[in-house]
Homo-oligomer: A and B are copies of this chain.
Amino acid sequence: MSARHTATRKRDGALTEHRHDLLRTMLTIRRFEEACAELYSATKIRGFLHLYVGEEAVATGVIAALGPDDAVVSTYREHGHALARGVSMDAVMAEMFGRQTGCSRGRGGSMHLFDRSHGLFGGNAIVAGGMPLAVGLALADRMQDRDRVTACFFGDGAAAEGEFHESLNLASLWHLPVLFCCENNLYAMGTAIAKEHARTNLAERAATYGLEAAAVDGMDVLAVEDAARSAVDAIRAGGGPQFLELDTYRFRAHSMYDSDRYRDRAEIAAWKKRDPIDALVAVLRADGDLTEKAMTELEADIAEQIARAVTAAEAAPLEPVEDLTRFVYSREAGS
């Protein structure tokens, strides 16, 4: 409903521009990760690499609804959240390359992107491990009368962990400003949601903790943004935590190590027909808001940005080995 609301809102320059921003963000994430996949095969990027391809509308839509001072807690599949949040692509790429100019100075890699200036609190690679952290950020905000909202992203698999239960209960019990964003891509690695949960309706499960909870089409960035916007507004108005189940799908394997034996090809193909980028392009085209030319320029622009980021990362310095034990303690304590 709220999605239709935006889609049909009297179109004006601002709206057009905003939709173009959403498109740019999603396309940037897509192309960036396609480049990362190649760089991984070229062994420029190592460790675990989890791609977000197909899920771009979730991070893009939710984060578009956040204010500049809001907080984001994410997982190991967080390139999209970092870029949508405005973390410099150069810094993200450099991080993947393990360089000193990376957003975590090369210490985090793909799974641990951090950027204080953009309110990105990681990049947590323990499934559900970021949830209590998000509750704590919100607790501090509440105790300090800040009106910040914390968006906490996690997957359908994470919802089986004890920390999911404990965190939702705590946030609801203490009425904390957290927007729980469950990226339900139907699989936890190779395990289908029906093998993860006795009841697979996660929004329904969340509602039993006393939070407002809704399921949203995670392939429709406008629907995601609208749902997130009303949730964020309600939370900021003091309404307590809310939960969004964002129904989506990853077009690629779980990680670069995964041969994807467990998913039916037809299922993948069906979901690819719902590509969130194609969907937005279609809306814009229908409204006559996107020309071929604009699209070509956008692609070129992004391609160039990525090329620059790669070149910069290649050229960037490595953290000196002498600094290995730096940042274990704030002061240079020993052990």
Contacts and interface: CB of A to CB of B under 8 A. Distances in A.
Interface residues on A, range: 20 to 34
Interface string A150-181: 00000000001111111011001100000000
A108 interface: no
A6 B196 CA distance: 40
Q: Give the interface centre of A164, A197, A198, A199 by most chain B CB atoms within 10 Å.
A: A198
Contacts of A208: 199, 204-205, 208
A172 B194 CA distance: 12
Contacts of A210: 198-199
Interface in A114-154: none
Contacts of A205: 208
Number of copies: 2
B195 A199 contact: no
Contact of A162 (B163, B196, B198): B163
Nearest to A209: B198
A199 B208 CA distance: 7
A108 to B, nearest CB: 26
Contacts of A209: 198-199
Contacts of A195: 173
Given A208-B204, A209-B199, A162 B173 contact: no
Q: Give the interface centre of A160, A163, A172, A199 by most chain B CB atoms within 10 Å.
A: A199
Given A198-B209, A208-B199, A208-B208, A166 B173 contact: no
Contact of A169 (B166, B173, B197): B197
Nearest to A241: B198
A166 B204 CA distance: 17
A162 B172 contact: no
A164 B160 CA distance: 11
A8 to B, nearest CB: 36
Q: Which 3 A-B pairs have the closest CB atoms?
A: A162-B162, A165-B165, A172-B198
Given A161-B162, A199-B208, A199-B209, 12 more contacts: A160-B166, A161-B166, A162-B162, A162-B163, A165-B165, A165-B166, A172-B198, A172-B199, A173-B196, A173-B197, A199-B210, A204-B208
Interface of A: 160-166, 168-169, 172-173, 195-199, 204-205, 208-211
